C-alpha cells in the first residue's frame, strides 16, 4: 500500500509541475483549454513478458511471451461537479501460457491442461496537461492475481459431447501492484456542443505488474492411467511486463 501511495504522490507532483510549465501567465486567456477526459472504457489485446521465475516454471507455448486481452474503465471522482485529471476505476486482464495434452494409454481418452493468469483490481490514472492531439497518462494499480490451471477431456469437432468435461483444477490467488504509462489520440469537443462528446481512439500502454507466489499445476506433470489422474503442483511469482494495444472510448 505504501508503494501505491508513493506512486500516486509522485504522479500528482509531476502533473502539477507540467501544468505550471504549460500555462503562460501573460497570455492565459489566449491559451486553448485542455479538453480533460471525464471517463473512459477500453478493450485491448495484450502480450506479456513473464518475470524470471514465472517464465521458468510456466514455460509459454509462445516462446518468451504470453498472449491475452484486457479491459477497464475509469471515472472522474467528482462527477459533473468539476473536471479532474485524476480518474479512478478498475482493470482486468487475462494471459494464457498455453496447454499440455496427454492420453490415457488404457482407455485412449485424451486430456488437456490449460494454464492462465487473471488480474483484477482498482486503478488510478492521471492525465498529464500536455496540449496537442495526444493524451498521455500514467497509472498505478493494485489487486489480485489468480493462477488458473484446468484439466479437461480433450474434445474434437468429431465428438458428440457439446460441453467439455472438467476433471480437476487449481486456482490460487495472490496480491500484486504495478504502474504503467500510455497514450492515445485526443479529439476536442465541438465549440457549440452543450454536453461532453464521446470519442473513440487507438491506444497503447506499457505496464509492469508485480505479484506474490501462487500455486499452479506443474507443466508436464499430468498423468492419467486407466482413469486415475495424478499431477504435481508448484509455486511461482506472478510478475510480468505487459504491452496493451486496443481501442479506448472517452
Q: List per-block mean pLDDT (blocks of 10 residues) for the chain, which spans 250 residues.
A: 49 45 45 69 97 90 95 92 92 97 94 96 94 91 96 74 82 95 83 70 96 94 95 94 96
Extract the C-alpha cell encoding 175: 496480491
Predicted local distance difference test score (pLDDT) of residue 195? 62
In sequence order, what are the residues at sequence separation of 6 or more whose Cβ sits closer than 8 angstroms to the Cβ of residue 78?
Answer: 84
d(CA 224, CA 219): 14
Predicted local distance difference test score (pLDDT) of residue 43? 97
Predicted local distance difference test score (pLDDT) of residue 214? 95
Q: For residue 45, give the nearest of 243, 248, 250, 216 by alpha carbon.
A: 243
Predicted local distance difference test score (pLDDT) of residue 107? 93
Predicted local distance difference test score (pLDDT) of residue 129? 86
User: Which structural domains are found in the chain, ordered by start?
Assistant: 2-179+192-249 (2.40.160)
Predicted local distance difference test score (pLDDT) of residue 158? 52
pTM here? Answer: 0.80
Cα-to-chain-centroid distance, residue 161: 34
Query: What Cα–Cα distance (Å) separates residue 153 from each residue in 12, 42, 99, 140, 233?
Result: 51, 35, 12, 40, 20
Predicted local distance difference test score (pLDDT) of residue 209? 95
Amino acid at each position: 500500500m505504501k508503494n501505491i501511495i508513493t506512486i500516486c504522490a509522485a504522479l500528482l507532483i509531476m502533473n502539477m509541475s507540467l501544468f505550471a510549465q504549460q500555462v503562460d501567465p501573460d497570455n492565459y486567456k489566449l491559451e486553448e483549454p485542455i479538453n480533460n477526459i471525464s471517463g473512459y472504457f477500453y478493450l485491448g489485446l495484450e502480450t506479456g513478458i513473464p518475470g524470471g521465475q514465472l517464465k521458468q516454471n510456466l514455460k509459454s507455448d509462445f516462446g518468451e511471451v504470453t498472449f491475452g486481452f484486457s479491459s477497464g474503465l475509469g471515472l472522474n471522482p467528482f462527477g459533473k461537479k468539476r473536471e479532474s485529471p485524476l480518474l479512478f476505476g478498475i482493470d482486468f486482464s487475462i494471459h494464457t501460457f498455453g496447454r499440455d495434452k496427454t492420453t490415457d494409454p488404457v482407455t485412449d481418452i485424451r486430456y488437456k491442461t490449460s494454464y492462465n493468469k487473471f488480474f483484477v483490481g482498482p486503478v488510478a490514472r492521471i492525465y498529464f496537461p500536455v496540449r496537442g492531439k495526444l493524451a498521455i497518462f500514467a497509472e498505478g494499480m493494485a489487486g489480485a492475481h489468480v493462477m488458473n490451471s484446468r484439466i479437461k477431456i480433450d474434445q474434437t469437432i468429431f465428438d458428440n459431447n457439446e460441453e467439455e468435461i472438467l476433471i480437476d483444477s487449481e486456482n490460487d490467488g495472490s496480491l500484486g501492484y504495478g504502474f504503467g504509462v500510455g497514450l492515445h489520440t485526443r479529439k476536442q469537443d465541438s465549440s457549440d456542443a452543450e454536453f461532453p462528446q464521446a470519442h473513440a481512439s487507438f491506444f497503447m500502454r506499457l505496464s509492469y505488474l508485480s505479484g506474490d507466489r501462487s500455486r499452479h499445476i506443474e507443466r508436464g506433470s499430468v498423468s492419467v492411467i486407466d482413469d486415475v489422474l495424478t499431477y504435481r503442483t508448484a509455486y511461482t511469482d506472478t510478475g510480468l511486463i505487459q504491452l496493451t494495444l486496443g481501442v479506448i472510448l472517452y
